[in-house]
Structure 1
Amino acid sequence: MKKLILFLLLFSAYIPVFAQNFNFGAITYDDYEFDRNKLDSNANAIVLKEFGTARIDIDDPTGRLELIFDYHVKIKIYNKEGFENANVVVPLYKDDSREETINDLTASTFNYTDGKFVATPMDKKAIFFENRSKYTKLLKFTLPNLKEGSIIEYSYRLKSPNLFNFKTWEFQWKIPKVISEYLVYIPGIYNYNVSLRGYQKLSDQKVELAKECLRINGANIDCSKITYLMKDIPAFIEEDNMTAPSNFKSAIYFELSDVTNPSGGKTSYTKTWKDIDYELSSDKSFGSQIKRKDMYKDLIPSIIKDTPDDLMKAKAILNYIKKQIKWDNYYGIYCAENIKKSFDNRSGNVADLNLNLIAALSAANLDAEAVILSTRENGTINKLYPVISDFN
């Protein structure tokens, strides 16, 4: 998988004051006594309040632009079945050179004891990381001292080098939410296509101007300050035979359209299908690999020996690739390195296998073309304009 990582070498930054979050640990009796019948009488837990902020800023050590996402949530647990919501997993993107990081993680459990709320902070030893795949690392932690009636609360800051999709916000989750609020600051030089998926409607949306939210090379840049608010959100229930939940779950999605350089000029990221075709065809991890049919020139005669027609030749080559290269369970439309490396290692991702196959078919003078797609689990693609990250 390739992620579009945007950066500018910057020399100075100005950090404004952003909207206020709700105070951590400010648990009230109303929180403790919240009547779940107002949303879902069968709920094992309910999100009382959820708040997030996303903005683009400068990473001082590198001078590059990065996305800063702050998240804060407060959850009421009603019974033991709701304890699972205290097991938190945060997916983080990583690659060979960059990765998303988590800072300022705070988490506590609050129980009502002897007429007052008693906090049990989470021990830092309860935090650990798991490498899920080449491109995904999981942050995991579990809140302590859970009881029926507990309120759990946690917050963290995520820093990401990936600006193309800004930061998706899921209003809908596996449990109901009383209120979910998302505040974004988008610099005026960035133009994003924004879409709300799902059946739930926003309760409110407000757009304001935030003056001088970013400073690049001495130039002050204003931001669009946009607040998205949704209240009384039902739990999202996955049904049998449902395609990817992301097709139906209520959420805000961002896709970068274009960036205007402070000194002038514009770079467009909303492509036509012709643009995508050209980029893939010329990419060293895609199009250049398809052209490497010379790699199979000496192997093809023995592979297709005694095959009577083109169909049988294609089947023989397919079976050879299946036996030669094992899938490593990673998806992606680009080779991890190159098809020769995956052939020698006898292992590769989806692209490694299929681009090897196309190169081998071409070496046998069979007409073979690459097709990119999104699997059922990955979700539907944007039909208005092509977004390469929609495909897996």
Structure 2
Amino acid sequence: MKKKILLLTLLFSATFLNSQVEKSSKMGQTSLDELAMTVYDKDSTATAVVLYEHANIYLDKKNGFNTRTDFYYRIKILDQKAFDLANVVINSYKKEKIIDLKAITYNISENGKIQTTNLNDNTIFKVEESEAWTAHKFTFPNIKVGSVLEYSYSKISPYSGIDDWYFQSDIPKIKSEFDAAILGNYKYNIRIIGYLNLDKDEPSINKKCIYIDGLLGDAACAIYSYGMYDVPAFKEEDFMLSKKNYVSRLTFDLKSYTSPRGKTERYTTTWKEADKKLKDIFFNNQTSKKGFFKRRIPEDILAIENQLEKAKSIYTFIQNHYSWNEKYWNSEDEKVKDAFEDRSGSAGEINLSLFNALEAADIEAELVILSTRNHGLPTTLYPVIFDFNYVVIKTTINGKEYYLDATDKFSPFGQVPLRTLNGQARVINFKKESNWVVLQPKTKSSINTSAKLKLNENGNFVGNLLTRRIGYIAQNQREKLSILGKNNYIKEFEEDNSNIEVDSYEVHFKDNLEKPLQEIFEVTIFMNDELTQKARINPFFFNRLKENPFKLKERNYPVDFGFAKSSTFTLSLEVPDTYKVTQLPEQMAISLPNNSGTFLLKTVNKGNVVNVITRFSLNKKTYSSEEYFSLKEFFKRIVIAESSYIIIEKK
């Protein structure tokens, strides 16, 4: 959420021009043609379409010259699946007010006329969601397939922040427009996010927007008018960062305010100024507690001479001392002393504790602020402090840089959690200018699976399975083992692989985060088909790719796997001497352009033993929208390859 800053109210005369007010959309625009629509011709799969939506911002004389935003929406329902759009929630923050809320459901009557059903005021519910937020909730009456839903309301706000305007959503829009008249002494950085272009972009200046009594006389307003037409629905798919990075929207960041007497207060500053503000406001002076931590770090850790080993021991000490409360950054509420005593804290409190502990041990440490993957990418054009919601620690030892996050008990030293790998992060150094870095995985993540199985006369495979995991794949598996415990883990494994029965199980290096995680299974695998004169066997028993995760005709945003990865599967399958192998899976070797990904399938038959080897590798974490079709085809061919069979026949 953007920082809400109270609007500085001036004494205006009543000469505020009505031209901006008149731009607000009026109710009652639904037509018979809209009601007769049964399908949206530009997207026949759409369950609903926004016919028109509009926001208009101006200063409202009747409400103390606070900022007023008039909202208007008109939506066509094409399918029952869209009936949830009849449930509307309008949120307001603290001193904001919602007024003039109206809603109408339109249908076609039996005689072909427009039939209207108005929302009753007593069916609008005001709910206090928290100390800061209030929700107005209502449901459109008499909704049917074919209905048009129309509603409007106004938000009165004493704050200077302007909420983002989303031109795009999960349903298509025919027309989306935004208008605003903003006093000239408020300066904003305005950005268009997303891959769509504006169809309407008409900024202007009204030099006699308002009269400021007794001070400046006529004052100017910046007039903004934006629009997008025939906006496609935003369709989410696997392996993407926060959709707010890609959904087309208009965003305003307050840059500065100049008072009538000429004094300017800057909100978007230089990074040098932002560094100080971060320390004072966000870190809440919690970066100068090394004395507290020096008294609490075990003396045997402080006595370690090797700097790297000492840093690792401090990291493990903080990591094991705390339980993360799943919160990221509590802003002004961070209190590392209280958190340490409670043995629980936010990511900010835990990692600020790590920062202080390293400093207490005379190990160089710096703060690294970032935006998590679910929060959106930070802008690098200028400081927007509220783009950031997380902090990790950087330490440099013997010239080598390490990035640390002690919130995750399964992250080895130098490996930050996946949630932090989100483009650029900002290293905050209070002695010199901060700088941008890109957090990278410590190692390439991989899983290697080796299986040795024998097909007995009963038609079952018996043998062993060995897996070896590294990097994030190991980290995720360690967490899963810790949460489930051995027995429940085996139970879940058997449920996920219904034809496999685990006879015994061992795990090695579960608690040694620096080592690869190894698991050994003794298994019995039951065939789907009876072992008769002829049988077919799918040899891809484990981690088989059964479905292509990429299904869109077009994807206008990158594919982000989070980290590069690889997997190897090796199978040695022995069939009874009474059978012969008559067919093997077709061998395959494919690659993505520029060798950014590879897949190999190799089969060898010697006597009654079949060896199957697959090697899969994604050599980078992010693939552009231009690479999407190659990636989609790559995965399609892997699905086909791993759907093939070994065929055996009785001799």
- TM-score strictly above 0.5: yes
Q: CA deviation at 1:152?
A: 1.3
TM-score, length-normalised on structure 2?
Answer: 0.53
Which residue is equivalent to 1:32? Answer: 35
Query: Considering only aligned residues, what root-mean-square deviation do their CA atoms show, in Å?
Result: 3.2
* Aligned partner (choices 251, 256, 259) of residue 253 of structure 1: 251
CA distance in 2, matches of 1:318, 1:57: 55
CA distance in 1, matches of 2:265, 2:81: 50
CA distance in 1, matches of 2:289, 2:258: 38
The gaps in structure 1 that reach 5 residues or longer are none
Which residue is equivalent to 1:131? Answer: 129
The reply to whether residue 186 of structure 1 matches residue 182 of structure 2 is yes
CA distance in 1, matches of 2:260, 2:244: 35
CA distance in 1, matches of 2:234, 2:330: 30
Q: CA deviation at 1:174?
A: 0.8
Q: Is the 8 A contact 1:54 1:184 kept in 2?
A: yes
* Aligned partner (choices 366, 371, 375) of residue 369 of structure 1: 366
- CA separation of 1:7 and 1:76: change in aligned 2, threshold 3 A: closer
* Aligned partner (choices 276, 294, 298) of residue 295 of structure 2: 298
CA distance in 2, matches of 1:7, 1:307: 55
Which residue is equivalent to 1:76? Answer: 76
Q: Deviations over 1:263-288 (max 9, x none)?
A: 1132333322222223223x054161
- CA separation of 1:233 and 1:386: change in aligned 2, threshold 3 A: same
- CA separation of 1:66 and 1:326: change in aligned 2, threshold 3 A: farther
Alignment of 1:102-121 (within 5 A): 102-115=98-111, 116=113, 117-121=115-119
**What letter corresponds to residue 263 of structure 1 in structure 2?**
R
**What letter corresponds to residue 299 of structure 1 in structure 2?**
R
The gaps in structure 2 that reach 5 residues or longer are 390-651
Q: Is the 8 A contact 2:59 2:66 kept in 1?
A: yes
Q: Is the 8 A contact 1:105 1:156 kept in 2?
A: yes
- CA separation of 1:251 and 1:266: change in aligned 2, threshold 3 A: same
Q: Deviations over 1:243-278 (max 9, x none)?
A: 121222111111222222211132333322222223
Alignment of 1:1-392 (within 5 A): 3=3, 5-8=5-8, 10-12=10-12, 14=14, 15-17=16-18, 18-34=21-37, 36-56=39-59, 67-93=67-93, 98=94, 100-115=96-111, 116=113, 117-121=115-119, 124-125=122-123, 127-129=125-127, 131=129, 139-164=136-161, 166-210=162-206, 211-213=208-210, 215=212, 218-219=215-216, 220-281=218-279, 283-286=280-283, 288-301=285-298, 304=301, 309-332=306-329, 334-392=331-389
Q: Deviations over 1:345-366 (max 9, x none)?
A: 5544332222222223322333
CA distance in 1, matches of 2:72, 2:345: 39
**What letter corresponds to residue 28 of structure 1 in structure 2?**
S
* 1:107 partner SS: strand
CA distance in 2, matches of 1:388, 1:78: 42
CA distance in 1, matches of 2:301, 2:168: 53
Q: CA deviation at 1:138?
A: 5.2
**What letter corresponds to residue 244 of structure 1 in structure 2?**
S
- CA separation of 1:69 and 1:85: change in aligned 2, threshold 3 A: same
CA distance in 2, matches of 1:237, 1:139: 28
TM-score, length-normalised on structure 1?
Answer: 0.84
Q: Deviations over 1:186-224 (max 9, x none)?
A: 111112121222222222222344423474775442212
- CA separation of 1:336 and 1:325: change in aligned 2, threshold 3 A: farther
CA distance in 1, matches of 2:213, 2:334: 35
**What letter corresponds to residue 238 of structure 1 in structure 2?**
E
CA distance in 1, matches of 2:133, 2:167: 23
CA distance in 2, matches of 1:34, 1:303: 76
* 2:40 partner SS: helix
CA distance in 2, matches of 1:128, 1:319: 48
CA distance in 2, matches of 1:298, 1:22: 65
- CA separation of 1:233 and 1:365: change in aligned 2, threshold 3 A: same
- CA separation of 1:118 and 1:287: change in aligned 2, threshold 3 A: closer
* 1:38 partner SS: coil
**What letter corresponds to residue 224 of structure 2 in structure 1?**
I
Q: Which has the higher contact order (CA 8 A, sep 6+)?
A: 1
CA distance in 1, matches of 2:381, 2:366: 24
**What letter corresponds to residue 379 of structure 2 in structure 1?**
N
- CA separation of 1:365 and 1:223: change in aligned 2, threshold 3 A: same
**What letter corresponds to residue 235 of structure 1 in structure 2?**
A
Q: Is the 8 A contact 1:10 1:58 kept in 2?
A: no
**What letter corresponds to residue 265 of structure 2 in structure 1?**
T
Larger gyration radius, structure 1 or structure 2? 2
CA distance in 1, matches of 2:300, 2:59: 54
